[in-house]
Structure 1
Amino acid sequence: MISSVRGPVQHIGLDHAVVEVGGVGLAVQATPATLATLRRGQEVQLATALVVREDSLTLFGFADADARELFGLLQTVSGIGPRLALATLAVLEPDKLRAAVADGNITVLTQVPGIGRKGAERLIVELRDKVGPLTAADGPSTRVDAERVRGQVTEALLGLGFPAKQAEQTVEAVLADDASIDTSTALRRSLAALGRKK
């Protein structure tokens, strides 16, 4: 089991990055939000899960071990393979996914392409007792989350070549509208806002 990789980023694609480890370039499948935080030539460390099939070995990468754990749990649900598990984490960050499962929120879960009402119901039934306790959304915790999102999205925009000041102002404006949004949503809204400014 390859549980993590560390090395310089050689290439960033739409759905994967190539990380050089010991002179070997490893293709790592990842979510758009994770890929957006990477820069070519920059040293990176990703938590990983290796999925072995008869005809392939596929490495999936995550920003942290928490996301990797959820990736594994999702695949214990009948009908969910590694691609759909990754798609779920691309749409729903770990905390949002846990909250949706704990609350039985089918509407949120069906936002994931490939998960219908029955699939969402299976997720809730099979994972409700496994996803772990939710942290209370008190003031300080919410502020820490907002700071984390601000830093990650700003870093991602810088990696995409936007000027630092413009990136910071855009992220600030997006979070001023809704400080509770996750990194993926904040990044999408920031990119949309920057696109309108061109």
Structure 2
Amino acid sequence: MISSIRGDVLHIGLDHVVLDVGGLGYRVNATPATLGRLARGTAASLVTTLVVREDSMTLYGFTDDESRALFSLVQTVSGIGPRLAMAITSVLEPDVLKRALVDEDIKVLQRVPGIGKRTAERMVLELKDKVALGADSDSGMAAGGSTGAHAKRDHVVEGLVGLGFGQPAAEAATDAVLKESPDAEIAAVLRSALTMLGRTK
């Protein structure tokens, strides 16, 4: 099992990063939020999970142990594999995901593409008692909710620039996404902006 990886960033794609480790290029699938913290030509360190299938070995990377644990936890639910688990951790921040499970908030879970009502209900039923909310989860969510649009915009633009996009293009894509979905979480805005920039390149 590969539990962590450190190397120089060779390439950053929409859903993965390639790290040079001892002359070998390792492709690591990651969320837009994780990719937004990386930059080509710099060293990066990620905690990882290796998913082995009969025809493939896929490495998934995360910035912290909590995100990796949630990625593994949601896969214990029938019908949720690595790809859908990655979509869940891309769209929902750890605290938002845990709060939705504890509060049985099906609508929040259904924000994730591929998660229908039945799957969301199964997630709540099977995971509600397996997640633990931190003592400051409520205050953390409140702080997130009160974060101004400018702060959210700056965070996303910074992430896009870190991925190698020009400042004007990053700002234009971010503004377009926020205009359409002003209440979207940072990870969701970043993902949508990346998709938009990928189409216009």
Would the alpha carbon gap of residues 6 and 90 (structure 1) be closer, same or farther in structure 2, given more than 3 Å must change? Answer: same
- What is the TM-score with the length of structure 2 in the denominator? 0.77
Corresponding residue for 1:128? 128
Would the alpha carbon gap of residues 80 and 188 (structure 1) be closer, same or farther in structure 2, given more than 3 Å must change? Answer: closer
Deviation string, structure 1 residues 94-145 (Cα, Å, up to 9, x no partner) = 11111111110111111111111110000001111111124342389827x9
Q: Residue type of the partner of 1:153?
A: V
Deviation string, structure 1 residues 152-197 (Cα, Å, up to 9, x no partner) = 5353133134449x96xx89xx7xxx8x964314536888xxxxxx
Runs of at least 5 residues in structure 1 that lack an aligned partner in the other structure: 192-198
Corresponding residue for 2:10? 10
Task: For 1:62 and 1:181, locate their aligned partners in 2 and report how far apart those are by CA, in whole Å.
Answer: 21
Deviation string, structure 1 residues 22-79 (Cα, Å, up to 9, x no partner) = 2211000111222232211111111110001111110001121111000010111111
In 1, are the aligned partners of 2:95 and 2:133 still within 8 Å (CA)?
A: no
Task: For 2:6 and 2:152, locate their aligned partners in 1 and report how far apart those are by CA, in whole Å.
Answer: 23
CA RMSD of aligned residues (A): 3.2
- What is the TM-score with the length of structure 1 in the denominator? 0.78
Task: For 1:138 and 1:76, locate their aligned partners in 2 and report how far apart those are by CA, in whole Å.
Answer: 29
Q: Whose relative contact order is higher, 1 or 2, with alpha carbons under 8 Å and at least 6 apart?
A: 2
Q: Residue type of the partner of 1:65?
A: D
Task: For 1:182 and 1:142, locate their aligned partners in 2 and report how far apart those are by CA, in whole Å.
Answer: 13
Q: What SS does the aligned partner of 1:78 have?
A: coil
Query: How many residue pairs end up in the alignment?
Result: 184
In 1, are the aligned partners of 2:95 and 2:137 still within 8 Å (CA)?
A: no
After TM superposition, the structure 1 stretch with the greater mean CA deviation from structure 2, 182-191 or 117-126, is 182-191
After TM superposition, the structure 1 stretch with the greater mean CA deviation from structure 2, 129-138 or 6-15, is 129-138
Q: What SS does the aligned partner of 2:138 have?
A: coil
Q: Residue type of the partner of 2:156?
A: V
